């Protein structure tokens, strides 16, 4: 068996082409374009690089990028004040805080301070709670939203299937589990302390892996014909690797998201979709 590779790059391009047209129509109707404010604290190079990638992503669809760069020694109170100012700014529709933040600043306080209606990263507790209860409107973190969209476009059947999500982070594992549950899967959340993790993975019709460990999941962890979603983005001396050993998993799985070219490009597209959603909600509120 050789798995069907799900083309996230191609689908993301199509989604972004549609978003670009919708954003152009929004600007014509309302006189301004959707805007995303990105707050970066300090000079961490990884955060700066991510900020540049978001700026490029915004430009590709016509979203205005608003940078808010603060010094590493800024007081938490000043950061909170900046966030509240962005909350009140009608021309800003989405707000993100880049990680990591300095140790003296409590990230949870910042996340809670973002207006849920502008929380396009889906990290504010209000959005997390609405996702849990499946009570729209809410924003889903872009990475799991992109993973689900890939499966939907591939025609994957969810109802009654056993889904295993390996990883329990607030931005990938938990929301992905909820999205699958809302689509009528029976869901197991597994993690580093799960007893006999390979056996749990082998029970999955749909296996989603988001642990940040390069090539951890091997082909003998996978049920023949299973759908495998690899959220891993691990930079190694051998290049970018997923959380799955792609060659061995592809010999067993029915479908597989490749790394690169799978869930990564979809994350970019779904973040822009969230910004447009926030802009539309703002003008209809």
| CA dist., res. 78 & res. 178, Å (int) | 35
Portions of the chain given CATH number 3.40.50.720: 141-264
| CA dist., res. 181 & res. 29, Å (int) | 37
| CA dist., res. 154 & res. 71, Å (int) | 45
Q: What's the pLDDT score for residue 285?
A: 77
Q: What is the pTM of this model?
A: 0.96
The alpha-helical segments, DSSP class H, found in 96-227 are 107-113, 125-133, 142-153, 173-182, 197-202
DSSP-derived pairing of the beta strands 239-241 and 234-236: antiparallel
The CATH number that domain 141-264 falls under is 3.40.50.720
pLDDT tens, position by position, for the chain (285 residues)? Answer: 699 999 999 999 999 999 999 999 999 999 999 999 999 999 999 999 999 999 999 999 999 999 999 999 999 999 999 999 999 999 999 999 999 999 999 999 999 999 999 999 999 999 999 999 999 999 999 999 999 999 999 999 999 999 999 999 999 999 999 999 999 999 999 998 999 999 999 999 999 999 999 999 999 999 999 999 999 999 999 999 999 999 999 999 999 999 999 999 999 999 999 999 999 999 997
| Closest listed residue to residue 113, CA positions, set 134, 138, 86, 136 | 86
Topology annotation, domain 31-116: Rossmann fold (3.40.50)
């Amino acid at each position: 068996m050789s798995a069907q590779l799900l083309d996230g790059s191609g689908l993301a391009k199509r989604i972004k082409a549609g978003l670009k047209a919708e954003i152009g129509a929004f600007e014509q109707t309302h006189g301004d374009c959707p805007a995303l404010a990105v707050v970066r604290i300090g000079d961490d190079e990884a955060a700066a690089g991510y900020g540049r990638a978001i700026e490029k992503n915004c430009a590709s669809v016509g979203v205005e990028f608003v940078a808010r760069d603060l010094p590493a020694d800024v007081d938490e109170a000043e950061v909170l004040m900046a966030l509240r100012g962005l909350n009140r700014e009608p021309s800003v529709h989405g707000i993100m805080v880049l990680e990591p933040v300095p140790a003296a600043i409590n990230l949870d306080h910042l996340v809670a301070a973002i207006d849920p209606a502008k929380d396009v990263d889906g990290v504010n507790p209000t959005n997390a709670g609405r996702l849990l209860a499946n009570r729209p409107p809410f924003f889903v973190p872009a990475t799991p939203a992109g993973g689900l969209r890939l499966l939907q476009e591939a025609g994957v059947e969810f109802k009654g299937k056993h889904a295993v999500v390996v990883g329990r982070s607030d931005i990938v594992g938990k929301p992905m589990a909820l999205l699958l549950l809302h689509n009528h899967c029976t869901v197991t959340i597994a993690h580093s302390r799960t007893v006999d993790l390979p056996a749990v993975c082998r029970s999955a019709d749909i296996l989603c892996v988001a642990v940040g460990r390069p090539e951890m999941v091997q082909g003998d962890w996978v049920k023949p014909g299973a759908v495998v979603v690899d959220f891993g983005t691990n930079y190694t001396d051998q290049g970018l690797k997923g959380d799955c050993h792609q060659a061995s998993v592809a010999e067993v799985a029915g479908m597989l998201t490749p790394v690169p070219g799978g869930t990564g490009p979809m994350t970019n597209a779904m973040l822009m979709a969230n910004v447009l959603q926030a802009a539309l909600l703002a003008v209809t509120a």
